[in-house]
Amino acid sequence: MLLALMRQINVAIIGGGTVGGGVYKALRQNGRLLASRLGVQLSVTRVVVRDLRKSRAVSIPKGKLTTDWKSVVEDERNHIIVELVGGVTLARQMVRKALRAGKLVVTANKALLSEHGEELFELARKHHTNLYYEASVAGGIPIIKVLREGLVGNRINYLYGILNGTCNYILTRMEKEGSDFQGVLEDAQHLGYAEAEPSLDVDGFDAMHKAGLLGSLAHGFWIPPDQIHVEGIRKITPLDIQFANQLGYTIKLLATIRPTPKKGVQISVCPTLIPLQHVLAGVRDVFNAVYIGGDVVGETLYYGRGAGQDATASAVVSDLADAALDLQQAHGSRLPAFVSHVENGSVFPWSETIAPFYLRLHVVDRPGTMARITAILAEARIGISSIIQPEGHEGDAVPLILMVHDAQIQAMQQAVKRICRLKVVHGAPQVIRVENFEF
């Protein structure tokens, strides 16, 4: 009887695929629980799909399905629009139209927000509505809410994230089995952990989009994707993982977001050596984690599944709950989508960033080789902390691994170019940043 007296809030979902189906299933499964907690009922009126005849893993009544997204957005009876189509071009068109109509919008689209978030947040403000995007970063981990609400009273001293489950799964398997990248990638594709066209994940762009959103929220100014340094994991070899372990490290695709003493925020996504004793080293398989340090709260860790139907659907439903509560407010939304509060914020140039490095070379094993290499590093004022030259490798060249002290990235790159011109150095070098979490 109580549920019947509650206000009903109508939700339209654009996209009936894996995530859209998961959201519909979650609302059907826990609708009464949500209503009892929120004091309002969430009712799905329409699910927009591309093909009405396509079979779906989640059963959705035919009467709720439609292919006409424009009529769904324009329908005044729909209070909240959920965009789950992916991509950028059409999704942007849908979200803009919904915001201009004054609808509350929920999206899981990190690429859309990374490329057009500043415009869409302004559009939401202009039309007195709001945009919710918890599901866009780290799936089931409520990291957007953490930054916007839980840590709102903190300056963020550092933020590190393992933000792509596909890359983490591949690197975990490579470390566990000694397998090469291509073989594990093919397995991941077969198991559904990697897309048929995997470049968005393995080349680091998915994590880059997420890092940009987290960096913008943490530091109060919009960070465009073209200012984020990004590298993928294609070049990581079992040899690198083996030597990293010998040196006391593991390799992760790590998003790093830190303010620098010289002003500006360092932000990057790249393979990184992490000490085996650090908590992020234990994040394995498809799991994500975000490690944040605030000036008041100290260090905090957030861990969970970063992708998949249920984890992402959980985050979308969380946003739907916030949107429903905002509709109950007499004076609009409790919290704007994004608040720019830092004037003249800037991204610190990657080339000027200082870090320790792992350097792997293949060299001819003859007297004087080491002296030539160390002389070039010394001229660049780059110090060596340790050297490994393993025995038992056959062929004209053998691996040589050097761990170097803090060096400016530009100086390191120039020194490596000079080293590679030596006749005793064969093949391409491997240069990987090291993060020791020394604050």
- Are 220 and 342 spatial neighbours (Cβ–Cβ below 8 Å)? yes
- Residue 302 and residue 151: Cα distance in Å, rounded? 13
Residue of 210, 235, 252, 417 marked catalytic? 210
**Is 210 a catalytic site residue?**
yes
Active site residues: 210
